[in-house]
Amino acid sequence: MTQKKYLVVVPGITLAFVLYTLSQGFNNIIGIEFFGYEKSPISTAMIAILIGIFFGNAFKVRETFQKGLDFTKEYILKFGIICLGIQLKPFEFLEFGKIAIPLIIVCIISVLIVIKLLIKKLKIPTRMAYLISIGSTVCGTTAIMATAPVIKANKSEVSYAIANITLFGILSMLIYPYFANIYFDEQPLLIGLFLGTSIHETSQVAAAGLIYDQQFNSPETLNIATVTKLIRNTFLVIMIPLFAFLYNRGQSKEKNYSIIKIFPYFVLGFVGMIILRNIGDHFFTDISNSNWENTIEIIKSSSKVFLTMAMAAIGLSTNLKDIKAMGFKPFIVGFIAMITVGFISIITMQLFI
């Protein structure tokens, strides 16, 4: 019985891997064979999500694949992010973190203020506004799902908020790497901080960083963006109790949330991989011992495969018809939230970094 439970995810995982392979093939054909570049100017991760969106909307994804795709989006994605930690050393994590935390706080406060003003003008339901707010400022869908029971949001409000975050997260994921490269004049620190603070989902930030790395050969940008986003995710521990208090004040003093349940534990895995890299570098210092370097390269390559598979799975699960059918007012809020967090991120960096 247990074996069957595990086997049920195999078709979806296999499909995600096939789309990754297809994306890599398209990337080589278009970029190298067709345009004649030594390295393709197109990102495999970008192709993967676009192919996923195309197939997911052109054909109905069978139930046979859905559990495996959900597994890929949730667990293989997180494992890919954990593996990214092998590229960093502890002091780099601390160095990026002390810059990222004040920037994240400013962005969160600014977006919350803007959305608070918008819901009065557009008459958006309070619960939906709360969901869009926390999805835009902290960690996308995960934040929405964790906040929904706390403020007693219904299924349609949750679905709408997730569609909102998905749409604008994908747009920013595809556009921001190129915009940031031009605006910040190829400075890895500023570009990484911008991607990590201005894009909603952890998966989208990882993909944007990967797109930038693949396009402009900058693994440092991918590292900084990932660290910034993971630090941002931990703010969920503060934001959900805050939203619970704001929404339920004067109504009920019941606490139906748990810090233990909402904490993003894969952040610890990411930090653990950084520590592993530091220990390995310390003990395997002999130049003739290439096994450790090969191990690092394998883990690095694996992380990019896992992330690209997750992008394909997310693309397959993005239903454009559902998004279109949901009306426009909350999407105005989502669009303004996206622009606001990006604008505030840029202004804050220009003033203080």
User: Domain ranges in the chain?
Assistant: 86-299+319-352
**Whole-number Cα distances in Å, 7 to 41, 132, 302, 343:** 37, 36, 22, 46
Cα dihedral 153, 344, 177, 230, rounded to 10, equals -60
First to last CA, the chain: 56
Closest CA to 123 of 333, 338, 322: 333
Contact 81, 303 (CB under 8 A): yes
186 vs 183: CA distance, rounded Å:
8
Contact 127, 111 (CB under 8 A): no
**Token code pair at residue 212:** 């930038």
pLDDT higher than 60, residue 190: yes
Identify the band that residue 1 occupies on the pLDDT scale cut at 50, 70 and 90.
Answer: very low
pLDDT higher than 80, residue 203: no
Identify the band that residue 99 occupies on the pLDDT scale cut at 50, 70 and 90.
Answer: confident
Place of tokens 């096994």: 291
As a whole number, mean pLDDT of residues 101-126 equals 82
Q: What is the pTM of this model?
A: 0.73
pLDDT higher than 60, residue 253: no
Query: For the residues of 164-188, what is the DSSP string, one character each?
Result: HHHHHHHHHHHHHHHHHHHHTTT-H
Helices 77-84 and 291-316: crossing angle in degrees, nearest 10, is 150
As a whole number, mean pLDDT of residues 136-152 equals 78
Tens of pLDDT, residue by residue over 312-341, are 888 888 777 766 666 677 778 788 888 888
pLDDT attached to residue 240:
76
- Is the backbone of residue 123 left (phi > 0), alpha (psi -120 to 50) or beta? left
- Is the backbone of residue 154 left (phi > 0), alpha (psi -120 to 50) or beta? beta
pLDDT attached to residue 119:
72
Residue partners of 99: CB distance under 8 A and separation at least 6: 189, 193, 353
Classify 212 as helix, strand or coil: helix
